[in-house]
Amino acid sequence: MRRRLLRNGTTAVSLLVLAAVTVSCEEAGKDAPQDGAGAAKSADELQGSRSATPGHQSRSPQPAKPPAPEKVGANELAAVPVLMYHQIVEKPSSVYDRTPEAFRAELERLAREKYVPVTAGDYAAGTMDIPAGTHPVVLTFDDSTDSQLRLGADGEPVDDCAVGILREVAREHPDFKARATFFVNGGAFSATGHKTALAWLHENGFEIGNHTRDHADLAGSGADGARRQIAEGQESILRDVPGAEVASLALPFGIQPAPASVALSGSAGGTAYENRGVYLVGAGPAPSPYAASFDPAGIPRIRSAPLKGQDAQYGSAHWLDQLADGAVARYTSDGDPDRVSYPKDTSAKPGKQPGGKLRPY
The full set of domain ranges for the chain reads 2-51, 76-347
Superfamily of domain 76-347: Glycoside hydrolase/deacetylase (3.20.20.370)
What are 247-304's pLDDT values in tens digits? 999 999 999 999 999 999 999 999 999 999 999 998 899 999 999 999 999 999 999 9
Over residues 235-243, the mean pLDDT reads: 96
What are 145-192's pLDDT values in tens digits? 999 999 999 999 999 999 999 999 999 999 999 999 999 999 999 999
Judge whether residue 100 has pLDDT over 90: yes
Q: What is the pLDDT of residue 333?
A: 98
The pTM for the full model equals 0.82
What are 311-359's pLDDT values in tens digits? 999 999 999 999 999 999 999 999 999 999 999 999 999 997 766 799 9
What are 38-65's pLDDT values in tens digits? 333 333 332 333 333 333 344 545 567 8
Residues 81 and 115: their CA atoms lie apart, in Å, by: 10
Q: What is the pLDDT of residue 283?
A: 87
Average of per-residue pLDDT values in the chain: 86
Give the residue, 58 or 193, on which the prediction is more confident.
Answer: 193
Quick one: what percent of the chain has pLDDT higher than 70?
Answer: 82
Judge whether residue 34 has pLDDT over 50: no
